[in-house]
Structures are given as C-alpha cells and as structure tokens.
A and B are shown apart, each in its own frame.
Chain A
Amino acid sequence: MADASYPDNLKYHPEHDWALIDGDVATFGVTWYAQDALGEVVFFDPPEVGTTVTAGEPYTEVESVKAVSEVVAPLSGEIVEVNAALGDAPEAINDDPYGEGWMVKVRLSDSSEVGALIDAAAYEAMLA
C-alpha cells in the first residue's frame, strides 16, 4: 500500500491498531503506520476462536523481515472469527491493512471502552 491513509470510519488505539465497530462485534487490524514500520510481514500467528482478549494487551504476533512484534487489542472481548487467509498470505497486512489484512473479529465485553479510543484525526496528529 503506497500512501498513508487512516479511514474516518475506524477507531484507533495508540499502539497502532484499528477497530471497526459494528454493534457489539468489532473487527481489529493494524494501521498503515504499523505495517509500514514493520516492513514486509512474513508470518501471522492466528489466535484461536474463543480466546479472551483485553484492551491494551497483546493478542497475537506478526513477524516481519525486521522483527517479531506483538499486536495489541484495542478493546476487550472474545474472539469470534479469525482471518485464516493471513496464514498463507500474511502480505495482505501490508497490501490492504484495512481490508484483506483484518486480523480478528471480537464480541465486545465492555462497549464503554470504545470511548477511550481515538478518531482518525487524533491518531494522525499523534503520528505527526
């Protein structure tokens, strides 16, 4: 993905994660900035469906040509779906971080946590 972009319909966590909230289920992934800093991703360690994740805590790891990095959950809940396609094609995290590169869907346990996330403008301001 050539140019930086931070869609307005997403909520952001300062550890460079995004959440797309749809009722009580949210989709998680990493931001354009995160994939750019990681470099080419070569391995995604898929977490198991049913695992509980906690906001601010790591829930999986991605390995790039530079390093293995933890991915932090922007919100708390239980994983209900995992993007299995990333197992064979982890490069989708680089190519399409907000689309094909999504990582997990989580049933939220505390929707009030959404208030702690920041919007695209605030996230971009943080990066500047």
Chain B
Amino acid sequence: MSREPSSETSAAVVASREGATPMQRDAAVTIFEKGAPGRRAFDCPAPGVPERDPLELLPASLRRGEPARLPEVSEPELVRHYVRLSRRNFDLDSGFYPLGSCTMKHNPRLHERVAALPGHARLHPLQDPGRAQGALELMWGLERALGEIAGLPYVSLQPAAGSQGELAGVLLTRAYHEAQGSRRTKVLTPDSAHGTNPATVTMAGYEVVKVATNADGGVDIDDLRAKVDEQVACLMLTNPNTLGIFDPAIEQIAALVHEVGATLYYDGANLNAIMGKTRPGDMGFDIVHFNLHKSFTQPHGGGGPGAGPIAVSERIEPFLPAPVITRSETADGPRFDLDHDRPRSIGRLRGFQGNYGVFVRSYAYIRSLGAEGLREASEIAVLNANYLLARLRELCGDDLPLAFGERCMHEFVLSATPLKRETGVRTLDIAKRLLDHGFHPPTVYFPLLVDEALLIEPTETETRETLDEFAQALAAIVGEAREDPQVAQSAPYTTPVRRLDEAAAAKRPVIRQAL
C-alpha cells in the first residue's frame, strides 16, 4: 500500500494522470438518467378488494397537472446504481479514517443486530408508555450509564446531535441564570475550541469571548482571569482539548469560573480519551454533552439521525428538556413513564423521545464493554495515538513536527509548515495524496491556531500494522515531496474524482439537478 519515493514513482504517476480510471470515466449519472419508460423492478399483485379510480378519491386541487417523472428502472439497474455510488465513497468499512476529533472507531456489527430486533425497530414513537416499558427501561438505563460516565447524574437523551446538545447546554445555562435573577451577556471559549462552540453561543444570544492558549496548549490562566467577570454566563471547554492535550489546570479553571457564578460546560467531543479514567463532573463541570456517534459507536452518517444527550448537575436539573423518563416501584415491579410536568423546563427540543435506534446501539456498546471495557477502550485510544505520534516523529518529525507538547491524549496535531517552506507541499496536498495510499486524510487546517495543521486521531480499534502503514505512507509522501513536489500538488490520481475546485464549489455551488 505504501509507496517508496523514487523518480520512477513520479513518472508512473504522471503517466496515470493521462488516462482516467474506469471510475473517473464513469461520469456522475443520477438514477433519473437511467432506465426506460415502462420499465419496472416490481409488479404489484392484483388487489383482493374492489379497485377505485384515484381520480374519484383525490380532489382536483390536490392532483398534479402531469405525472411525476419518477425513475423507471429494473432491479439490477437499481442495485448496481446504489452499489456503484457506495463504492465512490471512502468509509470506515473500507479503510483507516483518522479524522481528528471525530473518533472514527469501528461500529460493532452486534449493535446492528440488536437495533434491528422488531421490538426496537418497529416500535411506534406514539406508543403508550404502558406498552413501551422495555424501550423506556433501555433509555432510563442509558441515562444512568451516561450519568455515571460523566459524573453528573441528570441526563436528557433528547438532543438530536452534538450541536443540539451544545445548544441545549447553553439554553440551560441561560435558564439557570435567569432563575437566579441574573442577566449575563458573554460566553467564553478557548481559541482551540470546535467551531460549533462559538456558533452555539451566538445562536443562544450570547456574545463569544475567546480565551487564549498558553505555550503548553492549555487555557491561558492570566487571560481567563482578565476576561471572567459577572457578565460571563459560561465557559465552554473540551478536555482534553483539540490539541489532544489534557489541561492539568482544570480545577483552577473551574474555581475561577464558579467564583463569578458562571457555569462550566464540557464539550464531549473528546470523551473517548477519558472514559473510566476521570469524569467531567469531578473536574467541576456543570453540563456535558455526549456525541453518541463518536465515543459510543453510533455509525457516523450523512448528518443523521444522531443523538447528543446531555448530563447536568443538580443545580441545572430543573431546567432539563421535557418530558423526562421516570422510574417508580410498583407491586408488579418497576414502572417507567414520561413526566411532562416540568414547569421550569426549557421545553422540548425534538419530536418524540429522540433517535431511539441510536440509543439502542450505544446502550449495547456500553453494556458489552462494561466499566472495565470502557476504561480499556480509552487507554488503548491514548496508547494508539502516542504510538502513531512516536512513529511519525521518528520518520518525519522534522518536516511534520508536533505543534504542542511532547505526548498526547487520544489525538495530536502536526504542522506541515516546515515541509511547506522547503518544498511548497502543504497540508492540503498531503491530505489529497494520502487518498492514493488508501487512507482517509486526517482533519486538516484545524485547530485554527496551528498553521498547516493535521489533526490525527487513530482510535482504539486500529491495529499496530495499520498505524505502521499509515506512518510509512506519510513518510513516503514527505520523501516524494522533496524529489518532486508536483506529485502531491496534483494528487489524488486514483479516486473517483480528482482535485476539486473548492473555491468554485463555495462561490458557485450547483444545488439543483435538472431532470
């Protein structure tokens, strides 16, 4: 898979640039452009009841002027079309995907089997709680487990994504301060924060104030002290942060924030580094959101369905989204219910009870591993990251140095600035060239405070051989850059589409397909 740099390599690559691969030649054809009039994948059996003319049943105002132009294809055409599309994608099931801060770990297949059980998959969201006791018990159990992992006992599963979990957290902060009779205007975020943090703050009606990072990659305490005052509603923090560094001053940070009456919010993006080792609640955080698709193996997928549960401390609990799941003892055993009578709640954030299938998978994961297993998962995630970091420092440490610190937690940030200065090959070129080696690139150009950043998170589910191959591929790309920078600058060569014009895509996006 890895490629030794040589002048022959460059020649071969230049040659392959001339002729496109079959996949590249196969221009993007939509399902609407396939098939032929009258072709069918399926014939409905004759109905056993008298037929009625739809024109009699539908009032004229609801009828189309002409029939919709739906695809008319055979079943093999249909299957091949979607299988072909799926192969044009790079996914976790086809290769290593070290996308930093995204925790692209393997999703165990057992979870799919459990989630597909009819009792889970076919349960109607409006089912009466009395007839959905199993589902409510599972959700109640997931809440308790997440509460234990966070060290904060009160959980809502309702938010539909990490970003909505963040918004819920900041709205809870607002509700909490308003209940104290206090109006605050600002929320602090470090300059290494995820972009969603300032976006959430703005959406919740607060002003974002950035806190600087110190030389070790942690929060600059002097800058925090200068900015934290009675106008600050909350500090949003990820620990370990986006540099993959655990902030050892977290207790001091918590004390400074609590002194002015503000809340401390934990962005759970990097929870995979600390499960069973330490808990946000014990560090002094008031609110945590979880990304079930990161640490808890819900498959990452095209924007949804997702789940971003939140866990909170006692002082925040009255404001949690409604309804909440309750458990009571009866003569027949425990009974689970939905409590809508929550007068101080911030209200409902989502229809029904959230994305239930996601809860089933994450609950299956937590129960399969248990407390010991989760701790071990975090330990191996950190070990894998440090192993890969050590290999890369050995192979290309001068060209791609570590941006901060000496070691890391579950992820680390390299900077391609030295390589760019010497060869003109930049992070984007490295990322594109990695695709030719069969690897998904890491997160690039983030966090923003590192120039030419490569944010690498291998996760605990990768083998040592994979980590070695990835390190060798990066070293090969660096070696190749020294011989002929053009090779990386024109990559990729083997993917379904070549280098895209990102500026044109942003300025003149094609958002409609002509039919």
A residues with a Cβ closer than 8 A to B are 37, 39-43, 63, 65-67, 69, 90-91
Contact = CB atoms under 8 A, between A and B. Distances in A.
B506 A67 contact: no
A43 B505 CA distance: 12
Given A65-B502, A66-B445, A42 B507 contact: yes
Contacts of B446: 67
A65 B451 contact: no
Contact of B503 (A37, A67, A69, A91): A91
Nearest to B500: A65
A40 B503 contact: yes
B448 interface: yes
A67 B445 contact: yes
Interface string B409-447: 000000000000000000010000000000000000110
Contacts of A69: 448
Given A39-B445, A63-B506, A65-B502, 12 more contacts: A37-B451, A39-B428, A40-B502, A42-B503, A42-B506, A43-B507, A65-B503, A65-B506, A67-B195, A67-B445, A67-B448, A90-B507
Contacts of A91: 503
- Max chain A Cβ within 10 angstroms of own Cβ: one of B428, B445, B446, B507: B507
Nearest to B421: A128
18 contacts: A37-B451, A39-B428, A39-B445, A40-B503, A41-B503, A42-B506, A42-B507, A43-B506, A63-B506, A65-B503, A65-B506, A67-B195, A67-B445, A67-B446, A67-B448, A69-B448, A90-B507, A91-B503
Contacts of A67: 195, 445-446, 448
Contacts of B502: 40, 65
A53 to B, nearest CB: 19
Contacts of A65: 502-503, 506
Best-buried of A41, A66, A91 by chain B (most CB within 10 Å): A66
Interface in B444-478: 445-446, 448, 451
Closest 6 pairs (CB-CB, A-B): A40-B503, A42-B506, A65-B502, A66-B445, A42-B507, A42-B503
A74 B272 CA distance: 42
Contacts of A43: 506-507
Contacts of B503: 40-42, 65, 91
A65 B505 CA distance: 9
A69 B507 CA distance: 17
Interface in B293-351: none
A43 B504 CA distance: 11
B192 to A, nearest CB: 13
A125 B503 CA distance: 31
Nearest to A38: B445
B203 to A, nearest CB: 15
A91 B445 CA distance: 20
Nearest to A88: B507
Of B428, B446, B503, chain A has the most CB atoms within 10 Å of the CB of B503
Interface in B179-201: 195
A18 B195 CA distance: 27
Nearest to A91: B503
B260 to A, nearest CB: 24
A78 B451 CA distance: 32
A62 to B, nearest CB: 12
A66 B503 CA distance: 10
Contacts of B507: 42-43, 90
A69 B445 CA distance: 13
Contacts of B506: 42-43, 63, 65
A66 B506 CA distance: 11
B485 to A, nearest CB: 14
A39 B446 CA distance: 13
Nearest to B506: A42
A109 B53 CA distance: 79
B200 to A, nearest CB: 15
Nearest to A65: B502
Nearest to B444: A66
A41 B504 CA distance: 10
A127 to B, nearest CB: 10
Contacts of A41: 503
Contacts of A37: 451
Q: Report which residue of A41, A42, A67, A91 has the largest number of chain B beta carbons within 10 angstroms of its beta carbon.
A: A42
